[in-house]
């Protein structure tokens, strides 16, 4: 079972991405090439004043600095995703909000009507906009979230769907056709090098607690149910406030501090994120980024990881047990 947060404008923008953050590190992917852009102040009523139009996104931000930083992350995510999956990317409508109230009351309908996939993002004015949602410098989590949406749209095209989610599908963490580990692994692949280095360091600290692949490839995101309960409590509390009436879609965000939230199994979540990143990085390093795309399309069509491995002619193990052994040997060499 899979879970997702921002596949449509009415979805909830969660901040699970920085739970496992630690320190800075090395770069393993080339920087994204600059994308052609056009700047203007035009946009939907209530949108932040700076507008940037590029191949894979339409961005609205409250300041030039916030727009520049968001562009760097969105261009990076688009470049990495395209290297893995190819094809034409969907156009995201990314709105950087200067306050929670502006986010909650924004009318998404004009952007939805044009077929754009909405991604809300909050940067409090006065904050360093390069910081992630957990407040840690260098996390740059917007590229992670954009990659989630690129993946949902790509999976929809792979399966011949006209929308990002099949009609009647239950609300879920990711695309219902994809396992959660793959969804998060691909998103971490689109993160800036500093955050990816943090994932590696986190995994090094919990290497004795990694999740066996037989369970890992089938499990749902370990924090989803707990976060949904916390969000439900937030919504219930917000419902008692009748001083403001949101126009259009209400978008809510839960920020999870690096120190965690009482009752939230942050350690299990940290292992899950770090391991998802490591497995995807292992496969990409060994077989190329395009193999990640081939694996995703096979998983979306209902094949298991074992089935994908069994029919590959590349130098990959032929079953999950062998894959886990080779991954651990690869980790040991990395030190």
The Cα–Cα gap between 301 and 249 comes to 32
Please give the mean pLDDT across all residues of the chain: 75
The Cα–Cα gap between 222 and 185 comes to 14
* pTM for this predicted structure: 0.76
Q: What's the confidence (pLDDT) of residue 124?
A: 62
Residue 32 has what DSSP assignment?
P
Tell me if 120 is assigned to some domain.
yes
Find the mean pLDDT for residues 156-170: 63
Tell me if 258 is assigned to some domain.
no
Q: Determine the number of helices (DSSP H) and then strands (DSSP E) in the chain.
A: 12, 7
pLDDT tens for 38-75 read 444 456 777 888 999 999 999 999 889 889 999 999 99
Secondary structure of residue 14 in the 3-state scheme: strand
Q: pLDDT over 90 for what percent of the chain?
A: 37
The Cα–Cα gap between 21 and 196 comes to 9
Band of residue 5 on the pLDDT scale cut at 50, 70, 90 = very low
Tell me if 3 is assigned to some domain.
no
Q: What's the confidence (pLDDT) of residue 172?
A: 53
Q: What's the confidence (pLDDT) of residue 282?
A: 94
Q: Examine the pLDDT at 168 and tell me if it is beyond 60.
A: no
Q: Examine the pLDDT at 277 and tell me if it is beyond 50.
A: yes
Answer for the pair 209, 275: CB distance below 8 angstroms, yes or no.
no
Tell me if 245 is assigned to some domain.
no
Report the 10 Å Cβ neighbour count for 280: 23
* Both structure tokens of 219: 């499990």
Q: Which of 104-108, 116-120, 138-142 has the lowest mean pLDDT?
A: 138-142
Half-sphere exposure of 322 (CA within 13 A, CB side): 9
pLDDT tens for 132-145 read 443 333 456 899 99
Q: pLDDT over 70 for what percent of the chain?
A: 68
Residue 128 has what DSSP assignment?
-
Q: What's the confidence (pLDDT) of residue 92?
A: 95
**Residue 212 is part of a domain; what is its CATH number?**
1.10.390
Name the residue range of residue 270's domain: 13-240+266-334
Q: Which of 129-133, 208-212, 293-297 has the lowest mean pLDDT?
A: 129-133
Tell me if 254 is assigned to some domain.
no
Tell me if 315 is assigned to some domain.
yes
Q: What's the confidence (pLDDT) of residue 19?
A: 31
Tell me if 310 is assigned to some domain.
yes
Tell me if 195 is assigned to some domain.
yes
The Cα–Cα gap between 202 and 189 comes to 15
Strand 92-97 and strand 117-122: the pairing is parallel
Q: What's the confidence (pLDDT) of residue 302?
A: 92
pLDDT tens for 215-270 read 999 998 887 767 777 777 767 776 654 433 333 333 333 444 434 455 566 778 88
Q: Examine the pLDDT at 113 and tell me if it is beyond 60.
A: yes
Q: How many domains does the chain have?
A: 1
Instruction: Point out which residues pair with 119 in neighbouring strands.
Output: 94
Residue 220 has what DSSP assignment?
P
Q: Examine the pLDDT at 14 and tell me if it is beyond 50.
A: no
Q: Which of 20-29, 67-76, 215-224, 286-295 has the lowest mean pLDDT?
A: 20-29
């Amino acid at each position: 079972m899979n879970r997702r947060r921002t596949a449509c404008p009415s979805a909830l923008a969660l901040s699970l991405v920085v739970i496992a953050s630690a320190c800075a590190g090395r770069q393993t992917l080339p920087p994204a090439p600059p994308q052609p852009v056009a700047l203007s102040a035009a946009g939907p009523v209530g949108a932040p004043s700076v507008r940037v139009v590029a191949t894979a996104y339409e961005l609205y931000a409250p300041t030039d600095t916030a727009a520049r930083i968001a562009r760097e992350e969105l261009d990076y995510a688009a470049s990495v995703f395209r290297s893995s999956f190819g094809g034409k990317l969907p156009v995201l409508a990314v709105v950087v909000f200067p306050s929670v109230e502006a986010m909650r009351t924004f009318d998404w309908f004009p952007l939805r009507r044009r077929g754009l996939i909405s991604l809300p993002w909050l940067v409090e004015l006065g904050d360093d906009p390069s910081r992630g949602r957990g407040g840690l410098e260098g996390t740059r989590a917007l590229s992670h979230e954009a990659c989630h949406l690129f993946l949902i749209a790509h999976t929809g095209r792979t399966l011949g769907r006209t929308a990002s989610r099949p009609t009647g599908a239950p609300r879920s963490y990711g695309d219902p056709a994809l396992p959660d580990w793959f969804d998060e692994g691909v998103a971490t692949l689109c993160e800036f090098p500093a955050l990816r280095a943090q994932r590696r360091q986190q995994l090094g600290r919990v290497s004795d607690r990694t999740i066996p692949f037989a369970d890992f490839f089938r499990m749902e995101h370990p924090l989803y149910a707990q976060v949904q309960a916390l969000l439900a409590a937030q919504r219930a509390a917000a419902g008692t406030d009748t001083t403001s009436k949101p126009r259009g879609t209400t978008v809510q965000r839960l920020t999870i501090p690096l120190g965690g939230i009482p009752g939230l199994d942050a350690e299990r979540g940290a292992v899950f994120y770090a391991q998802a990143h490591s497995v995807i990085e292992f496969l990409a390093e060994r077989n190329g980024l395009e193999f990640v795309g081939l694996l995703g399309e096979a998983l979306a069509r209902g094949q298991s990881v074992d089935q994908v491995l069994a029919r590959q002619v590349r130098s990959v193990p032929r079953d999950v047990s062998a894959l886990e052994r080779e991954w651990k040997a690869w980790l040991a060499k990395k030190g």
